[in-house]
Each structure stands twice: as C-alpha cells, then as structure tokens.
C-alpha cells in the first residue's frame, strides 16, 4: 500500500543527498557580486534545510530564512543551533513577503523558483522580493535552463539505499513546455509491522526562456540585470544547465 511521503523523512533524505559543495559556491557568487566586505540583512527564499542561510550568518549577515516546509525549517533550526548562529526562520509562501521588513539582499537558490506553478507565480515572487529590498539592495537567484529540463532531466534516475531505508528518484518530461516530474519513492522500515512501508511523492518543476526571467526582473523594478552560468563565472551558452540571475533595486 502506498502512503503519502512523511516530509520529515523527505527532508532528512534531501538534506543528506544535497551536494554540500554548492553552498560555498552560492556564497562566493553573492559576496563577489557586492562590494568587498559588505554585510547587512539577508532574506533567503526557499531556504530548505538552512545550509546557505547559516553560512551567510557565519559570514556576518543578519539572516532570515523562509520556506514553505515546516519539516525543512526544523532541520534548519537544528543546523543554526549546532553552528552557534542566530537565524530567523519563517514558514511561508515566497510570493507573500509582507511583514518581514526590508533587506539589503534577497536570495533564492537551488531552483526554488522552478517549483512555483506558473510564470505568473514567478513574477509575483520577483515583485515581492524586489519590494522588500532596500534601495541599492541586491537580488540573486538561480533556475534550471531549458537545456536542463528538456534534454538532461528526462530519464534521470537515482537510488539511495541504507540499512533501513531506500530512496528512488526518477524524472520524466512533464506535459507542459519545459517542465519535469520527479517521482520520489521511499521505502522505510517499520518496527510495528517488521517490514517496509512505501511512500510516493510527485514533484513538479518548470522553467521558462531566459528572456522571461530577465523581463520579470526588469518589470519588478530591478536594474543592472545580469544572467550568467557557473555561479556567475561564465557566460550563458546552449549547454548551460543552471542560469544565475541578479539585479539591484535602484535608489529613488
């Protein structure tokens, strides 16, 4: 019998499988794009289990991490406590940022924007992010490229097996343009039945032409909009799998 995924299990598996080398690269991308030595207030949208937010707090930033998943935020709280840093954790929708104050920088990494249902929701998020930036504040995000969703992802498979659990991840092309479906299957040992329970989750991601994101940042009122690859170190090419975008809220 299939069950819906226990998100506490999913959060732990996600945290274990996430490439930890990505976080210092995101940090370097952000800090190298701003004045040397700059610190201030930072809002991390889709903060997940908190690695990036904690790293930025360790670098001297006053950080707020926002995520829709309370299970992810539980992991994030534990990570901040273990690191000995103070981070404000908020459970919420990245399209609705009222009441959080203003920030010197807003970030949204690990293709968080691609989990939004449509381009309208992406635009709402960009507007919300720009709206909480102080004049001169910076916005940074990354998203899947069309090459990633159309050519790389379809047919992707990954298995992770431990002594008491198994995680199977398969990705298929979605019905909508430039979309994919991640089929996540978990087998976890249950002492009460002396056997394994099976849980499934389907996650949807979708991306859009690069010009749509650039237009969205401009329509949100940001200037100096840039699109790059490889954590800001290379130009975008046809083989780029992840686009990095940034912009600045202008001074009045």
Instruction: Answer with the residue of higher pLDDT: 2 or 9.
Output: 9
Q: Is the pLDDT of residue 1 over 50?
A: no
Sequence-distant (≥ 6) Cβ neighbours of residue 169 within 8 angstroms? 156, 157, 158, 159, 160, 182, 183, 184, 185
Tell me which architecture the domain covering 148-206 has in CATH. Single Sheet (2.20)
Mean pLDDT calculated for residue range 36-47: 97
pLDDT at position 10, please? Answer: 64
Strand order in the sheet with 157-161: 2-4, 195-206, 179-190, 165-173, 157-161
> What average pLDDT does range 228-238 have in this prediction?
98
Please indicate whether the domains covering 6-144+209-248 and 148-206 agree at the CATH topology level. no
Q: Which CATH superfamily is domain 6-144+209-248 in?
A: Vaccinia Virus protein VP39 (3.40.50.150)
- Asked if residue 11 has pLDDT above 70, the reply is no
4-8, 12-16, 185-189, 228-232, range with greatest mean pLDDT: 228-232
The tokens for 236 are 């975008």
196 bridge partner residues: 189
pLDDT at 188 over 60: yes
> What is the average per-residue pLDDT within 175-185?
96
What average pLDDT does the structure give for the chain? 93
Q: 88-136 pLDDT, tens per residue? A: 999 999 999 999 999 999 999 999 999 999 999 999 999 999 999 999 9
What span, in angstroms and rounded, lies between the C-alpha atoms of 68 and 48? 9
Domain ranges in the chain are 6-144+209-248, 148-206
């Amino acid at each position: 019998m299939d069950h819906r995924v226990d998100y506490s299990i999913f959060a732990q598996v996600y945290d274990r499988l996430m490439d930890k080398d990505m976080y210092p690269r995101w940090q370097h991308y952000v800090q190298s794009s701003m004045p040397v030595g700059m610190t201030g207030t930072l809002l991390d949208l889709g903060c997940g289990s908190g690695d990036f937010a904690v790293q930025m707090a360790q670098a001297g930033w006053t950080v707020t991490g926002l995520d829709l998943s309370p299970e992810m935020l539980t992991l994030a709280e534990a990570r901040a406590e273990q690191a000995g840093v103070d981070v404000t954790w908020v459970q919420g929708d990245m399209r609705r940022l009222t009441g959080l104050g203003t920030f010197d920088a807003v970030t949204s990494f690990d293709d968080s924007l691609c989990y939004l249902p449509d381009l309208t929701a992406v635009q709402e998020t960009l507007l919300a992010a720009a709206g909480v930036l102080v004049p001169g504040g910076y916005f940074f995000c990354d998203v899947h490229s069309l090459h990633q969703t159309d050519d790389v992802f379809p047919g992707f498979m990954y298995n992770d097996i431990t002594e008491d659990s198994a995680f199977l991840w398969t990705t298929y092309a979605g019905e909508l343009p430039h979309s994919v479906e991640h089929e996540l299957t978990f087998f976890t040992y249950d002492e009460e039945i002396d056997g394994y329970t099976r849980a499934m989750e389907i996650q949807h991601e979708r991306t859009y032409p690069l010009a749509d994101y650039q237009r969205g940042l401009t329509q949100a009122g940001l200037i100096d909009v840039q699109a790059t690859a490889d954590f800001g170190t290379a130009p975008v090419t046809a083989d780029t799998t992840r686009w990095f975008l940034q912009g600045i809220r202008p001074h009045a």
